[in-house]
Amino acid sequence: MTRYPAVMCRSIKPLRRRETETTTGEIEAAARQFVRKVSGYRVPSNQNAEAFDAAIADVAIASRRMLEALGVEIVEGPDRWTPGSGSSRRAQASEPHAHPHPHAATAG
């Protein structure tokens, strides 16, 4: 069995809250984030939009199937994560984080 690290790099955002049910919007947002990461594009060209959207739909279906298998309640609804709903980048930068790669010193 493969073991996964307990923490994620800060560029990967958790898009669902463990203490509440998951919404269909959160699943789609997570699928979109994954496809953007894999493709290397934030927005596809008009020529690639159909493939991009199909990949998002496929990842969302697989994600929902996995969450259901884990017993996570899924409800219809929007993505509830909004920029700024967590702590600010400046506050995060001043706190140590728990993943193993080194960071260069930054000027404040």
Of 13-22, 23-32, 55-64, the range with the lowest mean pLDDT is 13-22
DSSP class of residue 71? T
Q: Higher pLDDT residue, 15 or 52?
A: 52
- Residue 94 pLDDT > 60: no
At residue 3, the pLDDT reads 64
- Residues in Cβ contact with 34 at an 8 Å cutoff, skipping those fewer than 6 apart: 59
State the pLDDT confidence band at 18, using cuts at 50, 70 and 90.
confident
What pLDDT, on a 0 to 100 scale, did the predictor assign at position 5?
59
Distances 89 to 83, 86, 94, 105, 108 between C-alpha atoms, Å: 11, 9, 9, 15, 12
Q: What local confidence, expressed as pLDDT, does residue 63 receive?
A: 95
pLDDT of 9 > 50? The answer is yes
Amino acid at 38: V
SS3 content of the chain, % helix, strand, coil (to 5): 45, 5, 55
Q: Determine phi and psi for 58, rounding to 5 degrees.
A: -65, -45
What CA–CA distances, in Å, run from 40 to 37, 52, 76? 5, 11, 29
Which one is predicted more confidently, 15 or 79? Answer: 79
